[in-house]
Chain A
Amino acid sequence: MNQLTQSRMPSRQHLPIPRQKMPEQDAAARADNFNEVNLGLTEEAARLEAGRCLQCKKPRCVGGCPVAVNIPKFLGLVAENRLAEAAHVLRCDNALPAVTGRVCPQEKQCEAHCVLGRKGSAVGIGYLERFVADWADQHCPPPAAAISAQGKKVAIVGSGPAGLTAAGELARRGYAVTIYEALHKAGGVLSYGIPEFRLPKKIVAREIERLQAAGVTFRCNVVIGRTYTIQELQAQFDAIFIANGAGLPAFMNIPGESLKGVYAANEYLTRINLMNAHRFPDSRTPVLNGRRVAVIGAGNVAMDAVRSARRLGAAEAMIVYRRSRNEMPARIEEINHAEAEGITLQLLTAPLEIIGDDRRWVTGLKCQRMQMGAPDASGRARPEPVPGSEFILPCDVVVMAIGTRANPLLTATCPELKLNAHGNIIVDENGMTSLAGVFAGGDIVRGAATVILAMGDGKRAAKSIDQHLRAQPPAAN
């Protein structure tokens, strides 16, 4: 297979060009600021990088992308410097390329499947996606508002990537779309969770402006399940898409979790990203900026929290994770960036208890060393405690980043929605819930997953909603 592909290669001299490096802010400087770490490829580097693509006839990379972006086509256009066309191709499959180019776990998705990966280094698909999207934001006019074709109305609950994607797709098809968002700012995790140094807020803001320009109405500060119920929305709208995410933070239920200085990552990151606590007292909401911060977990959320702690001035910011490095679920780039910024990794370390002083401030984390044991039923090696290895890790802030679950606020007020054992909404292959005309997608269906999967759900739901509504008589008025 590999040989076959190579024989179809357009020109062999492409191979020796090395993968282009992403220019980034100096590690020492950036550990002190919240500006974006990656600076973006230059046009020259982007052309070189895109030129590395072999234009495979059967592009494996596409199979690795959850929304099947036509990767060779857009890369080919970048290589020819036809950037506006490249942006168009990208946008056909991916509504938020400036976001996914930055936050997709490319090394597990598109780039993991690139044939060049076997030879050394995959094409920098994520870097190029970001490059094209940023270029288009600068150079291409936003789309004109679609004319509401059939006067049908769709309500969307939640303005995260699933909701935003569905809104764009539906507006394009001529529906009157209203997004309801509980917080005062739209964007979901893209706004309150992922920090500025990884995803500048102006990118999210621009996407929201795009949607507004396309005729989508945003109604922030409305909590569905409280301000309006799903039943009330059903009376006003022809279809509903629920994309309220998985925002219920998990705690470990170990002693000491109510000590002062213990945060769930959601609170810690919300204070910073949504409420600008890193600028306190110029902003209004404070956050404790510890000298030694221990973040429990090793996913993207944990990396965002620990790197934020460092930027808030922590002399030591640590990841505490009970498995080994190989199992860390975060994007590779985030782990590398974190280490370059001086983050320490306490691997094979399981927290047992949070210790406090007599005034109930956190002073340390009692931990136990672990070793990887035999693989369990799922084939994953299970960490096992090393007897007698307990020790205390001194710290003054502890951030729990061990996952989130489905928030029951909305579903509890709409018992007709069928849920699975974890509280996630059950949908059929079209994304429809047990309620006719009510669709759902993103983290509320999948459990905490990824931006691109949520977007894929939003796109699929929009298509299903369109089909569902076309099968119905036109609106009466």
Chain B
Amino acid sequence: MNKVVSRQQLSRGITRLEIQAPRIAEIRQPGQFVIVCLAEDSERIPLTIADSDPQRGNITLVIQNVGHSTQELGNLRVGESLFAVTGPLGHPTELPDQGCALCVGGGVGAAVVHPIAQGLHRRGVKVTSIIGARTREQLIFETELRRFGDLIVCTDDGSHGCTGLVTDPLRTQLAAGPWAVVYAVGPAAMMQAVAELTRPAQIRTIVSLNPVMIDGTGMCGGCRVSVGGVTKFACVDGPEFDGHLVDYHDLLDRLTTYHTFEKSGPGGAKDHCKL
């Protein structure tokens, strides 16, 4: 049982939870995630460890409400408990020892990129972050990311920072290089767009993939992704991969597997028929 010690509504649909998980808080590294299970019969949901406080034994999760389980998690109140939090899982982010790095986060990806920027900053790497959201209300982790270096903000509707997508300021920044590495976390289409921009100059680009997961230990094979034509299990081989080698189309497509189910509600399972 892991208790919720603080809760903050970051925007409509995005919740930040601080959860008691002392061991994970103590050893987690940038890029790692946990699998949470709200109740014994809940789904097992992968979530990035956005931050941790080893002294108090807490980890921070930032949850975007996209479906049933993320909604239930987002509705948790302080003092309530999760049935299980397992981790830290996945490989830690590959971090350079020096130079300059760009961190690009779209939507809830800003929270996922946060521990990476934090890790880079602790090693003395110069960090520039670019984060974007649809509107000002949906922008998260602005203050947090500003602590680690320069921050460029953009919104689709121009309600905050520059108008447009994260790829717009990215273009300018790339030209201003040199960059040791670019990290991109967000919707698959965004990560793909970033990777296409960094490809010509062959700037090392690392993306964090979010396939459906169950166990998170390499046992089920459900999280498989195609990287450089080779099948990888994101939970144990990733979740971060070389952004120039990822098959984003395959990732996006596989994420839609349970759409019919999630939308059809009661009876969905039996109604589902494709032949």
Contacts and interface: CB of A to CB of B under 8 A. Distances in A.
B43 interface: yes
A289 interface: yes
A289 B272 contact: yes
Interface stretch (A65-73, A104-112, A259-267, A303-311): A259-267
Contact of A267 (B85, B214, B268, B274): B214
B107 to A, nearest CB: 24
B256 A248 contact: no
A248 B256 CA distance: 24
Contact of A286 (B87, B221, B261): B261
B88 interface: yes
A474 to B, nearest CB: 29
B214 A227 contact: no
B275 A291 contact: yes
Interface in B62-107: 68-69, 83-89
B82 to A, nearest CB: 10
B42 interface: yes
A257 B89 CA distance: 25
B268 A286 contact: yes
Nearest to A271: B214
A285 B41 CA distance: 9
B275 A396 contact: yes
Interface in A242-269: 247-249, 251, 253, 257-258, 260-261, 263-264, 266-267
A284 B274 contact: no
A407 B27 CA distance: 23
B273 interface: yes
B189 interface: no
B142 interface: no
B220 A264 contact: yes
Interface of A: 182-184, 220-223, 226-228, 247-249, 251, 253, 257-258, 260-261, 263-264, 266-267, 270-271, 275-278, 280-281, 283-292, 313, 360-361, 394, 396, 407-409
Contact of B43 (A183, A226, A285, A361): A285
Nearest to B32: A226
B24 A227 contact: yes
Contacts of A276: 41
A227 B217 contact: no
B87 A226 contact: yes
Say what secondary structure dominates the interface of chain A. loop
A289 B270 contact: yes
Nearest to A361: B274
Interface of B: 23-24, 27, 37, 40-44, 68-69, 83-89, 214-222, 224, 226, 231, 236, 250, 253-254, 256-258, 261-262, 265-270, 272-275
Contacts of A220: 84
Given A183-B215, A258-B226, A221 B84 contact: yes
B254 to A, nearest CB: 6
Given A223-B217, A270-B214, A287-B269, A260 B84 contact: no
Nearest to B231: A251
B251 to A, nearest CB: 9
Nearest to A228: B23
B253 A360 contact: yes
A291 B44 CA distance: 27
A251 B261 CA distance: 26
A271 B273 CA distance: 18
A248 to B, nearest CB: 6
B269 A184 contact: no
Contacts of B216: 223
Contacts of A289: 269-270, 272
Question: 6 shortest A-B CB distances, which residue pairs?
Answer: A264-B221, A267-B220, A247-B219, A286-B261, A221-B86, A249-B221
Contact of A270 (B83, B219, B256): B219
B24 A284 contact: no
Nearest to A394: B275
B81 to A, nearest CB: 13
Contacts of B265: 281
Contacts of A281: 261, 265-269
Contacts of B85: 221
Nearest to A264: B221
